[in-house]
Amino acid sequence: MSDQIAPSSRHPLLSAVRMLASDLLSTLVFVGLYAITHSVALGVGVGMALGLGRVAYQTWRGIRIDAMQWLSLFLVAALGGAALITRNPMFVMLKPTLVYIAVGAVMLKSGWMNRYVPPIVQDHAADVTILFGYLWAALMFSTAVVNLAVAWRASPATWGWFIGVFPLASKGALFLVQYQVIRAIVRRRIAASKVLAVPAV
């Protein structure tokens, strides 16, 4: 059992998910502090501290730090530093766009989702999960573009509402659609295979 679990724990997708979760947390902390204090320095400083603290904690616990986490930390430091120097929150607001592009690139690998679904889905709807894998990549790239547009055109307060609601809502919606579609297709294909298996009289 441990041999089967170990490879999955190192899969790039899981790294991407952790990267998104970490980025969303630091971003929301920045939004909250900036909205309350109107201080770019405080918001960025705490966000950077969260990123550095996470890496320090994993190092202390002996947990492997993968490439995507280093990328996330680099973006925190580079864009956070630029925001501190210029006193412009735009640099932090652009960070999710770069993160979503990186995650979308990971999801472009054909069939990445198949190893994370139950065996019954692998046996009867592997082709459908490949399609949804590309849809997830498209959602990531779309979110990156929308975030860029909102960050560029809207106020930090409006962007804060967007980044706190849209990414989670859109992913939740796609997950529900995927679940229902794959469930229906698996049931239909199983029923069809049983019909074909019945010997002719």
Band (8; pLDDT cuts 50, 70, 90): very low
Q: Which residue has the higher pLDDT, 119 or 35?
A: 119
Choose among 176, 183, 170, 173: nearest CA to 128.
Answer: 183
The residue extents of the domains of the chain are 2-197
CB atoms under 10 Å from CB of 130, counted, come to 15
Residue position matching structure tokens 């996470």: 54
Q: Helix and strand tally (H, E) in the chain?
A: 7, 0
Contact criterion met (CB below 8 Å) for 143 and 170:
yes
pLDDT digits (tens, 9 = 90+) for 31-43: 777 778 777 788 7
The answer to whether residue 88 scores a pLDDT higher than 60 is: yes
Question: Which residues lie below 8 Å from residue 19, measured CB to CB, with a gap of 6+?
Answer: 68, 69, 71, 72, 99, 102, 103
The answer to whether residue 79 scores a pLDDT higher than 70 is: yes
- Point out the least confidently predicted range of 22-26, 57-61, 149-153, 169-173: 22-26
Band (196; pLDDT cuts 50, 70, 90): low
Query: How far is 76 from 44, CA to CA, in rounded Å?
Result: 9
DSSP string for 108-125: TSTTTTGGGS-HHHHHHH
pLDDT digits (tens, 9 = 90+) for 126-166: 999 999 999 999 999 999 999 999 999 988 878 888 888 89
Query: How far is 157 from 154, CA to CA, in rounded Å?
Result: 8
pLDDT digits (tens, 9 = 90+) for 42-53: 877 887 788 778
Query: How far is 83 from 43, CA to CA, in rounded Å?
Result: 10
The reported pLDDT for the residue numbered 183 is: 92
The structure tokens listed for 166 are 């849209």
